[in-house]
Homo-oligomer: A and B are copies of this chain.
Amino acid sequence: MPTVIALDTMGSDRAPKPEVEGAIQAARHYDVRVLLVGREAQIRSELALHPVAGRLPIEVVHASEVISMQDKAAQALRAKRDSSIRVGLRLVRDGRAAGFVTAGNTGAAMATAKMVLGALPGVDRPALAAVFPTSAGTAAILLDVGANVDSKPHNLEQFAVMGEIYFRSIFGTARPRVGLLSIGEEESKGNELTRATHQLLKHSALHFVGNVEGRDLYNGSVDVIVCDGFVGNVALKISEGVAELVRDALKESLRATITRQVGALLSRSAFGDFKKRLDYSEYGGAPLLGLKGVCIITHGSSNANAIKNSIRVAAEYAERGINIKIESELGRQRAHSTGLD
Interface of A toward B, CB cutoff 8 Å: 72, 107, 134-135, 146, 149-150, 181-184, 186, 190-192, 194, 213-219, 227-231, 233-250, 252-254, 256-258, 262, 265-266, 269-271, 273-274, 277-278
* Cβ–Cβ contact A237 & B258, under 8 A: no
* Cβ–Cβ contact A234 & B233, under 8 A: no
Tell me the smallest distance from the CB of A324 to a CB of chain B, in Å: 31
Using known A-B contacts A149-B183, A258-B270, determine if residue A240 contacts B253 with beta carbons closer than 8 Å.
no
Which residues on B sit within 8 Å (CB–CB) of A245?
134-135, 218-219, 278
* A214 touches which of B72, B228, B236, B257 (Cβ 8 Å): B236
Which residues on B sit within 8 Å (CB–CB) of A217?
238, 241
* Cβ–Cβ contact A271 & B248, under 8 A: no
Tell me the smallest distance from the CB of A253 to a CB of chain B, in Å: 4
Which residues on B sit within 8 Å (CB–CB) of A146?
183
* Cβ–Cβ contact B246 & A247, under 8 A: yes
* Cβ–Cβ contact A244 & B218, under 8 A: yes
* A241 touches which of B183, B215, B274, B278 (Cβ 8 Å): B215
Which residues on B sit within 8 Å (CB–CB) of A234?
181, 183, 213-214, 227, 231, 234-235
Which residues on B sit within 8 Å (CB–CB) of A277?
249, 252-253
* Cβ–Cβ contact B258 & A241, under 8 A: no
Which residues on B sit within 8 Å (CB–CB) of A262?
258, 262
Using known A-B contacts A190-B230, A192-B150, A241-B217, determine if residue A253 contacts B271 with beta carbons closer than 8 Å.
yes
Considering the chains assembled together, what is the distance between the CA atoms of A72 and B186 in angstroms? 10
Using known A-B contacts A231-B231, A235-B238, determine if residue A256 contacts B273 with beta carbons closer than 8 Å.
yes
